[in-house]
Amino acid sequence: MELAKEYISCLQSAPKYDGQPDRVSESQHTSAAKVRNHVRVLRGSATWLQREAFTDDNVLAQLKVPQAAAKMLQTLSDEEIGKLFGALDQDKSAGCRNAAILLLFLDTGLRCSDLLNLPPKTFI
């Protein structure tokens, strides 16, 4: 348990891009979300070891997952949304398509990568 706590402490104080010399940033540390994910993996591994009878007890059962601050996403104002739609020429097919894509993004919160990965026949 102490070794796991020491590992978490090292993670929390490690530079954000540790091991990536081209992206060195001493001012930023590993994100809280990444630390939380490491802790979850450790706990899950310890649970699996116990369940499969490799260990008698789950030595990391009491290991607490560190808190991470919730990220607040910035939303577009009505004025910004108006500017986006105002920049489109909806008299042309490409403008109509782009307006439909914007509406899809705004109404569903869909990410660009999700839209690109939709099967081609989704909208037919």
Which phi and psi (to 5°) does residue 56 adopt? -75, -35
Q: What is the pLDDT along the chain (124 residues), one digit of tens a residue?
A: 889 999 988 888 888 765 656 555 556 778 888 889 999 999 999 999 999 999 999 989 999 888 877 778 888 899 999 999 999 999 999 999 899 989 988 999 888 888 888 887 776 5
Quote the longest CA-to-CA distance of the chain: 70
Is the four-CA dihedral 11, 68, 33, 30 of positive or negative sign?
negative
Please give the Cα distance from 44 to 63 (Å, whole number). 11
Give residue for tokens 């116990």: 50
Number of C-beta neighbours around residue 98 at 10 A: 17
Distance CA 32, CA 68 (A): 5
**pTM, rounded to two decimals:** 0.52
Nearest 5°: CA angle at 49, between 48 and 52?
Answer: 80
27: its two tokens: 């001012």
